[in-house]
Amino acid sequence: MSATKRNVRVFRYDPAVGGDGGFRDYTLEVENASAMTMLDVLLHIQREQDPTIAFRFACRVAMCGSCGMVINGRERLACKTNVSDLPPSEDITLRPMNHFPVIKDLVVDMDPMFNKFRETLSFFEPKEQLTEPARIAPDAPEREEIRLATDCIACGCCVSSCTMVDHHPDYAGPAALARAYALIADSRDGLFQERLAAALPSCHECRTETNCTEVCPKGISPTRAIKYIQRTALVQLEVTPKEAEVEETEAPPARWEVDRATFIRGAGVAVIGAAVAVTLGSVAAITTVGPTESAAAEEWVSVGRIADLPQGKVTTVLLNYEARSGIYSQTISKPVMISRLSDEIICYKTACPHLGCTVHFENQSDEFRCACHGGTFDRSGSVIAGPPPRALDRYRHKIEGDQLLVLI
């Protein structure tokens, strides 16, 4: 078998650099296209050409659902897709899944999907305290219904492929609904009415495009599950659905709120020194915010009262605001440098235009400086020394009453 050359385009985005990311091209010698997976392609590139490339995998045999990505325009598992599955005439194009925040390159944060599982009560809640497993024949209709959905490995391919996920923030999405249906059909489960009520509104958002069903690497049809939930609800949903009690009885609401970000910020985190807090806050924000195919719209965020920003100084303010993008929203902490050195207020980004390190203003020298590579900017943000390719980036701002707002 002779080796062939394939051009591989990989989406690269590094929060430490910032920006919107973009594709980088690699050329790869492929010895045996029918025995080389996309995971192998990435490992070869990483080991032979570019060790900084980031992607995710665990089991490498389609059991864990960690390596979902968009391969030549379609959601697939990298470990289950071979080079020979893609037409030789095409480039191989790899990019992160849609709708999820990008952590780095092809790696996305999948918590938004897990949160949807919680919202649709997509977990088993026993109907009664049994000591013996329920007797259910293998050919019972209920078993057939459940079997279809329990092969799910929560890879997120269906969520990424669904265009509706982007349009309805409350939409639970195909993965959570497929699981919800399996539980609704499960006679052992005790949350039938509550879950039906929790899942039904989302089902109305589905436009039956069947993208989810087409891309599922396990052959599951969330579309079918969604339609079955609607049908079941027509027949069986009680007109005044009972309130879901599980939140109160099973876990205090506070616990439900705990996710990675809040845990780091909240529960028992001891941070030494206020200066450190600012640094960590910005790092945490940077690593969880990345471009997705559905980048959040710009919005005006309040900086605070103008009177609190001293004249003749540059003040760094940490903005905390809620940003929504498709199926998830997150609290973002972003530092902004507000210059009142002259009469004009200027709002600068703290990221150095060179490689994204943090720039600060030095009062003694009256200059903005970047500690990484010595980039230096004058009072108006223009480059006066070092490698930065352009002046400091600015945010648009406006004044409303006594408040300063910036467009983020």
Partner 1 sequence: MTQSVKADLLIVGMGAAASMAALYALDANPDLNILIVTKALKGKGGCSRMVQGGFNVVLHPMDSHEKHFMDTLKGGQYINKQDLAYTLVTEATATIKEMETRFGCFFDRNPDGTIHQKPFAGQSYDRTVHKGDLTGIEIMSRLTEQVIKRGIPVLEETRAVDLLLDESGKTVTGALLFDMRRGDFLVAEAGATLVATGGGPTQYRFHAPGPEKSVDGLGMLYRAGAVMMDMEMVQFHPTGLIIPGSVVAGALLEEGLRGAGAYLFNGNGERYMLNYAPDVAERATRDVVSRSSYIEMTSGRATPEGGVYIQASHLGPEFVLKNFPGMAERCRQFGYDLARGRVPISPTAHFVMGGAAVDLNGQSSLEKLFVAGEDAGGVHGANRLGGNGICESCVLGRQVGKALSKHLHNGNRALATTRKDQVKETADRLLRPFTRDSGPSPFDLRKRIKEMNWNKVGVVRDGPHLTEALAEIDAIADEASRMRVSGGRNYNMMYTAAVDLLSMIDVSRMVATSALAREETRGAHSRSDFPKQRDDYGLFNSNLRRGSDGKPVIEKTPVAFTRKSLEECQNYRKG
For the segment 258-277, give every residue that binds partner 1 (CB under 8 A): 258-260, 263-264, 267-272, 276
Interior angle at CA 393, CA 387 and CA 397, nearest 5: 165
Look at the block and give the residue holding tokens 């949350």: 191
Residue whose CB is less far from partner 1, 36 or 306: 36
Pairwise CA distance, residues 94 & 10, whole Å = 5
**Residue 297 per-residue DSSP state:** P
The yes or no reply on residue 24 touching partner 1 (CB under 8 A) is no
Residues 198, 209 contacting (CB under 8 angstroms): no
Residues 280-319 that bind partner 1 (CB under 8 A): 280, 283-284, 287-288
Residues 36-55 that bind partner 1 (CB under 8 A): 36-37, 39-40, 43, 46-47, 51-55
The yes or no reply on residue 104 touching partner 1 (CB under 8 A) is yes
Residue whose CB is less far from partner 1, 59 or 385: 59
We find the least distance from the C-beta atom of residue 259 to partner 1, in angstroms, to be: 8
Q: Of 132, 343, 344, 400, which one interacts with partner 1 (CB under 8 A)?
A: 132
Residues 116, 172 contacting (CB under 8 angstroms): yes
The yes or no reply on residue 152 touching partner 1 (CB under 8 A) is yes
Q: In sequence order, which residues have a C-beta less than 8 Å from that of residue 280 and are 6 or more positions away?
A: 271
The yes or no reply on residue 184 touching partner 1 (CB under 8 A) is no
Q: In sequence order, which residues have a C-beta less than 8 Å from that of residue 248 and are 6 or more positions away?
A: none
Residues 338-357 that bind partner 1 (CB under 8 A): none
Site string for partner 1, 195-234 (x = CB under 8 A): ----------------------------------------
Residues 333, 262 contacting (CB under 8 angstroms): no
Pairwise CA distance, residues 405 & 304, whole Å = 8
Q: Of 3, 140, 295, 399, which one interacts with partner 1 (CB under 8 A)?
A: 140
> What distance, in Å, lies between the first and last C-alpha atoms of the chain?
54
The yes or no reply on residue 31 touching partner 1 (CB under 8 A) is yes
Q: Of 10, 28, 71, 103, which one interacts with partner 1 (CB under 8 A)?
A: 103
Q: Of 74, 93, 114, 306, which one interacts with partner 1 (CB under 8 A)?
A: 114
Interior angle at CA 216, CA 260 and CA 290, nearest 5: 35
The yes or no reply on residue 146 touching partner 1 (CB under 8 A) is yes
**Residue 192 per-residue DSSP state:** H
The yes or no reply on residue 5 touching partner 1 (CB under 8 A) is no
CA 35 to chain centre: 31
Alpha helices (H) in 79-191, listed in sequence order: 111-119, 141-150, 157-161, 173-184
Q: Of 6, 8, 12, 14, which one interacts with partner 1 (CB under 8 A)?
A: 14
Residues 231-250 that bind partner 1 (CB under 8 A): 246, 250
Residue whose CB is less far from partner 1, 280 or 306: 280
Residues 113, 100 contacting (CB under 8 angstroms): yes
We find the least distance from the C-beta atom of residue 23 to partner 1, in angstroms, to be: 18
